[in-house]
Structure 1
Amino acid sequence: MNAFSLLPLFLVGLAGSVHCIGMCGGIVGALSVGVSAPRPRAVIAIHAVQDSGALRVLAYNGGRIASYMLAGAAAGSLAGAGMVRMASLQIAGYWLANLMLVALGLYLMDAWRGLAQLEAAGNVLWRRVRPLLQPLLPMDTPLKALAVGALWGWVPCGMVYSALLTAMMAGSALHGAAAMAAFGLGTLPTLLGMGLLGARLRQHLQRRRVRIASGLLVLGFGLLGLLRAANGVSLGWLDALCVTPHP
């Protein structure tokens, strides 16, 4: 896995980050402007002061991406341990990863909400993580923001699940972590922008045409991967645009 092969995952994170506004945007906005964060799903309100707001936004996102990388390393290690090396399992995993990208694209466009059900199922994990946030409030220091971000990285999210399936196919813990780092960095511009621009950026990114454009990009990646899987052959230079490595 090289830097160029990580570009599609970065773009998936960038396009999919319009979904992050509902999941993380309130927290990041609270870090910089000192208001109470809204309650997306089972989220608790968070208060923060304006001092060192930018540093706390960076710390929060650093913790979040670190958790993504840890999850990616765990997923990638499955391949390294031989658990997905069987040809049949590799092919099934490849199809599933690209089907998840198709589902994510439709989700971003509000054309199909199936991933919302998957996120609801993941709340079993979140219920175990959420109590750990209580001692970290208010989030008034970069260290607390880092810890909250690390915990928040485990919030049930269909977009993250899509990326994790790709990380699982990466072949090793190192490559899985790199895949999730690329994905996490793709989400970074939006969440940093939320910390600096707040409601103005939120309003722009929640416009229907922005969500549709983002969804179409992710949907295109998924359909391209499915096309390659169905043909069982290389698509030439288009292979570089496939998010999931071919089994």
Structure 2
Amino acid sequence: MNDLSFVSALLIGLAGGVHCVGMCGGIVGAFAYAVPKNAPLLPYTLAYNLGRITSYTLAGAITGWAGLLFAQQINKGIVILQFVSGVFLLLLGLYIAGWWQGLTKIEKLGSKFWQVIHPWSKTFIPFKSPLQAIPYGMIWGWLPCGLVYSVLTWSLASGSAVQGAIIMAGFGLGTLPVMILMATGFNKIQTLIQKPKAKILMGLLLLVFATMQLLQAISGSVQ
């Protein structure tokens, strides 16, 4: 994994904003009702997203560590993981562009875990201060999401807990602009990035990243 991993993950998060609008639009709308009446929404939104990105970072560290264990046990294990990651990013690009919808089936993998932790989030609402939105966001960071799972395979392929955490932190920050704009009522962003041309553009960008990952895996397999 090179030094551009953080920047690349950031760009993937930005491109994935198309998915965030569809997946999290309703959640963001309901979030506003948990904020005290007449309170400024932005501090709560930032706190919520801090919690969400913290969970992404933790998940990245865990998967990166798991990738390290796999690489230590399997010959050219990192190459295998890089190939798997490239395939998932490829499928993600097809999904974002609207050319393939199979990624929704992968989201069901985390549904049982989500059913266990989701009720805990209710203990933090309604919010009395932005601090309560942080643990709330941490719980919602584990919402089953094909976009997140796809990027987690990249963390897995890093073979490092630190690098895995960096990748997911970059990805989380990349999703932040769209999430803030939705939460603060900038509805035009939803209309803009849900247009077919925008989806195709974002999907193609992700396909470029997937191709780079697959080429890296192929080059590693022949060395």
Shift in alpha-carbon separation, 1:96–1:79, aligned structure 2, 3 A: closer
TM-score calculated relative to the size of structure 1: 0.81
Query: What residue is the counterpart of 1:27 in the other structure?
Result: 27
Give the partner amino acid of 2:151: A
Query: Which one of the candidate residues 71, 75, 93 is aligned to 1:84?
Result: 71
Any conservation in 2 of the 1:30–1:47 contact (CA below 8 Å)? no
| Structure with the higher fraction of residues in helix conformation | 2
CA RMSD, Structure 1 to Structure 2 (Å): 2.3
What pairs with 1:53-72 in structure 2 (closer than 5 Å)?
53-72=41-60
Shift in alpha-carbon separation, 1:224–1:165, aligned structure 2, 3 A: same
**Separation in structure 2 between the aligned mates of residue 201 and residue 97 of structure 1, nearest angstrom:** 29
Q: Which runs of 5+ in 2 are unaligned?
A: none
Q: Deviations over 1:32-63 (max 9, x none)?
A: xx45xxxxxxxxxx676341310000001000
**Separation in structure 1 between the aligned mates of residue 154 and residue 202 of structure 2, nearest angstrom:** 19
What pairs with 1:168-247 in structure 2 (closer than 5 Å)?
168-232=156-220
TM-score calculated relative to the size of structure 2: 0.89
**Separation in structure 1 between the aligned mates of residue 124 and residue 135 of structure 2, nearest angstrom:** 8
Query: What residue is the counterpart of 2:88 in the other structure?
Result: 100
Helix, strand or coil at the partner of 2:45: helix
Give 4+ residue runs of structure 1 displaced > 6 Å after superposition.
none
Query: What residue is the counterpart of 1:52 in the other structure?
Result: 40
Query: What residue is the counterpart of 1:42 in the other structure?
Result: none
**Separation in structure 1 between the aligned mates of residue 117 and residue 174 of structure 2, nearest angstrom:** 25
Helix, strand or coil at the partner of 1:28: helix
Percent of aligned positions that are identical: 39
**TM-aligned CA deviation for residue 27 of structure 1:** 3.0
Query: What residue is the counterpart of 1:159 in the other structure?
Result: 147
Shift in alpha-carbon separation, 1:233–1:159, aligned structure 2, 3 A: same
Helix, strand or coil at the partner of 1:84: helix
**TM-aligned CA deviation for residue 202 of structure 1:** 1.4
Any conservation in 1 of the 2:48–2:134 contact (CA below 8 Å)? yes
Helix, strand or coil at the partner of 1:122: helix
**Separation in structure 1 between the aligned mates of residue 214 and residue 64 of structure 2, nearest angstrom:** 21
Query: What residue is the counterpart of 2:104 in the other structure?
Result: 116
Helix, strand or coil at the partner of 1:99: helix
Any conservation in 2 of the 1:107–1:215 contact (CA below 8 Å)? yes
**Separation in structure 2 between the aligned mates of residue 2 and residue 96 of structure 1, nearest angstrom:** 18
Query: Which one of the candidate residues 127, 130, 133 is aligned to 1:142?
Result: 130
**TM-aligned CA deviation for residue 160 of structure 1:** 0.8
